[in-house]
Amino acid sequence: MNSVPHLPPRPTRKLVLGALAIFGFCGCGEEPVQPPASPNIVLILADDLGFGDVGYNGSEIRTPAIDRLAAEGVKLDRFYAYPLCSPTRAALMTGRSALSTGVLRPFEPWLESGLPLDEKLMPEYFREAGYQTFAVGKWHLGPNKKAYHPQRRGFDHFYGHLGGFLNHYLHTVWRRVDWQRNGSTVHEEGYSTHLITAEAIDLIRNRDRDKPVFLYVSYSAPHTPLQAPPEAIAEYDSIDNETRRIFAAMVTEMDRGIADLRVALEEEGLLDQTLLMFMSDNGGRPGLGANNGPLRGEKSSAHEGGIRVPALLRWPAELPQGATFDHRFVVEDVLPTLLSAAGLPGEPVKPLDGSDVWPALADEAPFEPGPAVSARGGGPNFDFLYAYFSDEWKLVRARDDTGQLTLQLFRIRGDPYEQNDLAAAHPDVVKRLSTAFEAIPKAEMIGAGAAPEADYGDNRGGSSSILPDDTAPTDIPYAEAEWRNVP
């Protein structure tokens, strides 16, 4: 095993090798046969969905499909992602910290880099075990070089967009169509959420019935630009704020897509043999329509509103229904936990930073989370802004209103809304935790750099633009080009 920088070890159980007895499913009029011994895995991501943007957390946004999954499964009440999308997705796919991979910032449309090619990704583990592996929706782990694209990173099939945002109807980013199927640009009409759902359902219905499925459904909703079908927006006429109204419609359209996906799984006889996970990639921005509930902070912040996100797991055959898991569960834990649930061997090429939480979820085994970090690069010098968790403490390195770096300390269990900064009262704890963070080996930060204005012009349709860039797309496709080399 190749030794690379990684976080201090967190408690984990060794993954066990399960026998992968694979059988086909029955068709109409045929005798039923035994389903796969290993579960199908469906992993669903929302994009910029706040903690307070789902019904089961008290939102006015209607999310009946997500709420039903939560009622039938386990709510991960203290699930932590990263403050920004690419770091979360990199940690999700690798089981390794952003400090270990160097992915601490989003992969912007002009960047040639991506998630390092020497990292082993989640679909590779499942494909090695006999799964068919599908990815649908947003990628955002390396947009411009084909070596970083999903079909080169373990997925048998990819449909969706490579960048971090797009016009949801024109499917464009920076005036180029970013919509593809397995490397070829697809020019088609339709709302991105609807198209993502339809492709996921089609893959389920036309799968190889002799293999279990790993399906990654990464919605681009409710990320800006804020766009939704007019009839969906009209359903929220009671919300006065237009930004919130469109955001709510985007969330509900995604929820309807999840409901349709559930129906397809049920009709195919897969629902009870499927471990389904839902999560958001980071907190939302209230100025862009989101609501993080009572949590402090927002997307890009290491405070709770930026990193504590809605998440759940559903598999009634193995998990309790209507339960809440209130231990800290970080995004790096997802890979080892899903492998453990499927009874598959964990054979990483680099040390994992995540823990196998499955015994605690399925068997109520004792679980004590170890130290964990949620970090991003930010500021003029790309300084680390982070949250460091250790036992009862959470240390936050942030910028104050003047732009100065500060260290804040919270007893996060008793103060989940981060109202009482204890840094002055406990300087010893601040020093201990900050020293521990500094001692963690850190890979070189990837993806730092500003947009080259000469190449990309103004910032219409940028990642924080509420309104879409409706400029007609150029005839140069995004997906097929090594973008910088295209005149």
Tell me the mean pLDDT in the region 389-396. Answer: 97
* pLDDT at site 378: 67
CA distance 290 to 84: 15
| 199 pLDDT tier (thresholds 50, 70, 90) | very high
Phi and psi, residue 89, nearest 5°: -65, -35
- 149-172: average pLDDT: 96
- Average pLDDT on 236-247 reads 98
The lowest-confidence range among 235-239, 253-257, 378-382, 397-401 is 378-382
Judge whether residue 452 has pLDDT over 90. no
Q: Which of 26, 28, 85, 187 is catalytic?
A: 85
**Three-class secondary structure of residue 260 per DSSP:** helix
Judged against a pLDDT cut of 80, whether residue 486 lies above it is answered with no
Topology of the domain comprising 40-369: Alkaline Phosphatase, subunit A (3.40.720)
pLDDT digits (tens, 9 = 90+) for 243-300: 999 999 999 999 999 999 999 999 999 999 999 999 999 999 999 999 999 999 999 9
Structure confidence at residue 481 (pLDDT): 57
Q: Is 85 an annotated catalytic residue?
A: yes
Per-residue pLDDT, averaged over 7-14, amounts to 42
Average pLDDT over residues 13-26: 32
Residue 1: band (very low, low, confident or very high) from pLDDT cuts 50, 70, 90:
very low
Dist CA 56 CA 66 (whole Å): 8
Catalytic member of 140, 161, 171, 223: 140
**What is the pLDDT at residue 166?**
94
**290 touches 48 (CB < 8 A):** yes
Contacting residues for 433 by C-beta, under 8 A, at least 6 apart? 388, 390, 393, 395, 409
User: Do 60 and 248 meet the contact criterion of CB atoms below 8 Å apart?
Assistant: yes
The answer to whether 327 is a known catalytic residue is no
Q: What is the mean pLDDT of residues 40-48?
A: 98
Residue 325 is given by DSSP the state: E
**Side chain identity at 418, as an amino acid letter?**
E
- Residue 174 confidence class, pLDDT cut points 50, 70, 90: confident
Computed over every residue of the chain, the mean pLDDT equals 88
**Neighbour tally for 398: CB within 10 Å:** 18
Task: Identify the residue with better confidence: 451 or 112.
Answer: 112
Quote the percentage of the chain above a pLDDT of 70: 86
Cβ–Cβ under 8 Å, residues 251 and 284 = no
What is the pLDDT at residue 255?
Answer: 98
Per-residue pLDDT band at 26 (split at 50, 70, 90): very low
Nearest to 371 by CA among 82, 13, 74, 6: 6
How far apart are the C-alpha atoms of 120 and 153, rounded to whole Å? 8
Q: Indicate whether 14 pLDDT > 50.
A: no
Mean pLDDT of 421-438: 97
Cα–Cα distance for residue pair 76/56, rounded to 1 Å: 12
What are the pLDDT digits (tens) for 105-155?
999 887 888 999 999 999 999 999 999 999 999 999 998 889 999 999 999
Strand partners, 388: 373, 395
Give the mean pLDDT of 206-221: 97
Containing 433, the helix (H) or strand (E) segment is helix 427-439
Quick one: average pLDDT of 20-36?
A: 36
List the chain domain ranges.
40-369
Give me the residue label for tokens 């279990």: 212
Query: What pTM value is reported for the model?
Result: 0.91
